[in-house]
Amino acid sequence: MPNAPELAVTGSTGHLGGMVARLLASAGSEQRLLVRDTARAPELEGATPFVTSYAEPGRAKAALAGVTTLFMVSAAEAEDRLQQHYAFVDAAAEAGVRHVVYTSFFGAAPDSTFTLGRDHFATEERIKASGMAYTFLRDNFYLDFLPLLAGDDGVIRGPAGDGVMAAVARADIARSAVTVLRDPALHEGKTYDLTGPEDISLARGAELLTAGTGRTITFHNETLAEAYASRASYGAPPWQVDAWVSTYTAIAAGELAGPTSAVHELTGREPLSLEQFLAESHTL
C-alpha cells in the first residue's frame, strides 16, 4: 500500500475519534481513518479513509497493512463487544502493527463494579499478550455525559449515593491521545489514568449543572431495586441494564474517585472542570 499513512485512527465518525482525527490533521499528521462507511469519514488534510470494522478481521488486516501505530477507540457497546475487540487486536498483530493506543476505562479490572470495565481489562490483556507495544488511556466517566443523565423532569436518578468521581472532558482525552500518537515511543508500556481536576458527587454535579445550564437539575439516589425497575421500560437486554445501573454503583463504590495529574503531564494544561466545560459548551 504505497504512500498510505502509518498512523491509523478508529472511531473518526464518532465524538472522541473525530476529535483526535481533527487535532492530528491540524498538527500536520497524516493518518488512515478506519471507518465502516467512507461517506461518513471526516474530510481532513492528510487523512485517507479505509473501510473496515472490528468484527471483520480479514478486512481489518488488509486495512492495517503497513500501519505502525494504531489508535483503537473501544467499540460501541454491544453484547459481543469483547469478541469484536479480540478479533481486531488479533488482526492488528497479524498485520504487523507495532503499537496500539487503546481507550480503556479508569480502574479497569476483572471485577470492576462497572460491568463494562471488565471488558476493557480483558481487551488490555489481549493487547499485552499480542506482542505489540501498547499505551492504555484509562478514561474516567465523561463530563460530556453528565448533562444527558437528567431526565425530562431534570432529575438524575441512580444508586450512586454520596460517591464521587473524577469525571473528565472528552476534549482532554482527545488532547492526551494526540500527544501519545505524535510520539508513541515515549509512551510504550504506559497506562494513563485520565481524569478531571476534582472529585464530584452527583448531588454536586446537579448543582453545577443547574448553575451552568439554566435547567433545574436535582439528584435522586435510587435503591438498586428502584434503579432496575425504572429502567425496565426501555426493553434493553439484561447486560445493558446491568451496565447502566453499574455506572452509578461504581461511583457509590468509590471506584471512579481520585483525580490524577496525567492530563496535565500529557498536554501541559489543566483538565477542564465541570464548570469550565459547561461554560465552554455554552460559548461554542
Which residue ranges in the chain fall short of pLDDT 70?
Answer: 1-3, 282-284
How many angstroms separate the CA atoms of 118 and 129, rounded?
17
Best CA proximity match to 120, nearest among 250, 24, 236: 250
Q: Which residues lie below 8 Å from residue 20, measured CB to CB, with a gap of 6+?
A: 9, 11, 12, 71, 174, 177, 178, 181
Q: Which CATH number fits domain 7-141+167-195+258-271: 3.40.50.720, 3.10.20.30, 3.30.565.10, 3.40.50.300?
A: 3.40.50.720
What pLDDT score was predicted for residue 281? 82
- Cα dihedral 228→231→233→234 (10° resolution): -130
How many angstroms separate the CA atoms of 120 and 181, rounded?
20
Evaluate whether 142 touches 168 at the Cβ level (below 8 Å): yes
Q: How many CA atoms lie less than 13 Å away from 284 in the CB half-sphere? A: 6
Q: Which three cell numbers stand for residue 283?
A: 460559548
Evaluate whether 174 touches 194 at the Cβ level (below 8 Å): no
The domain limits of the chain are: 7-141+167-195+258-271
How many angstroms separate the CA atoms of 247 and 257, rounded?
13
What pLDDT score was predicted for residue 4? 77
How many angstroms separate the CA atoms of 102 and 201, rounded?
28
| Phi, psi (rounded to 5 degrees) for 257 | -90, 155
